[in-house]
Amino acid sequence: MELSEGTAWNRALRNNIFVFLACIINRIPLFMCNKPGSSKSSAVPILINNLKGKMSKDSYFQTLPELVTASFQGSQNCTSEGIIKVFERADNYTRVKHCSELLPVIVFDEIGLVELSPYKPLKVLHADLEVETNNYGFVGISNWRLDASKMNRALYLSTPDLDVQDLQLIGKTIVESMEQQAKKPLIDFNSIIINGIAQAYYDLYDNLSDAPPDQKNYFGLRDYYSLIKSIVRNLMETKEKVDIYEIIRRQLKVNFDGILDGSSL
């Protein structure tokens, strides 16, 4: 499996790719639901870029059909007509080549937002997600579960929360990627500091597990990613010797402040 530069091969990403591959090859509709930053959207382009049919670099992937996407961005203003057109595009792809050579995949991003549409457009999915008549792959990506009438027509994958080891791996991958791009190693930002930041974020997230619903997910994974990137960026922009812990304190204030103060938790 080829990954783009800077991609952390963490547990959540591996699970997403494995289930996504199994479902699209067998034409089983899939809903991937979890919090932002849990590698849902990352898994899709990785698999699309690796499955190129006979042009694939991996010998096993060469035995599988080439994937071609029919993408749809969900919103609260979606209508059933727009969704129907996406399925029609997928049907048209099946007529271009023999089905064994080309496999259309419908990628429905932010499908959870579509449930909020006053037009109730997701009702058209009921017939289109029948496995017996499905000639293409389907993946719906959402930050939360859909209602039971949709979930019962597809496989539901809930990405597990990242553990400390996953957070440490992602932090180190971000640092290494930014170092390679800038061609400037950061001696001060070592693995001990990265591991400490990852543990601190994990403890913060754990403390918020018993918080009120409006505060439970106040600090998401993307805040952690932004923190690591901001620290690296500050270190690279500073030409003279600086106190790395002062930079960390400043970036903690930037990324973990607001209505809820992360430093008080």
Same-domain status, 251 and 131: no
The total number of structural domains in the chain stands at 2
Same-domain status, 132 and 205: no
Q: Is residue 1 part of a domain?
A: no
Same-domain status, 153 and 208: no
pLDDT of residue 32: 94
pLDDT tens, residue by residue, 78-115: 999 999 999 999 988 877 755 568 899 999 999 999 98
Q: Is residue 131 part of a domain?
A: yes
pLDDT of residue 70: 94
Same-domain status, 144 and 210: no
Same-domain status, 154 and 181: no
Alpha-carbon span 9 to 41, nearest angstrom: 14
Same-domain status, 57 and 40: yes
Same-domain status, 114 and 62: yes
Give the CATH number for residue 81. Answer: 3.40.50.300
pLDDT of residue 251: 92
pLDDT of residue 99: 57
pLDDT of residue 92: 87
Q: Is residue 2 part of a domain?
A: no
Domain final residue, candidates 141, 158, 175? 158
Q: Is residue 68 part of a domain?
A: yes
Same-domain status, 24 and 102: yes
Scanning 26-163, the segments in alpha helix (DSSP H) are 40-50, 80-94, 111-114, 125-128, 148-151
Q: Which helix (H) or strand (E) holds 240?
A: none
Domain final residue, candidates 140, 158, 176? 158
Report phi then psi at 25, rounded to 5.
-65, -35
Same-domain status, 21 and 129: yes
Same-domain status, 130 and 230: no
Q: Is residue 206 part of a domain?
A: yes
Task: Give pLDDT < 50 ranges for the chain.
Answer: none
Structural domain of 190: 164-264
Confidence (pTM): 0.82
- Helix, strand, coil shares of the chain as percentages rounded to 5? 55, 10, 35
Q: Is residue 3 part of a domain?
A: no
Same-domain status, 90 and 125: yes
Domain final residue, candidates 129, 158, 187? 158
pLDDT of residue 150: 84
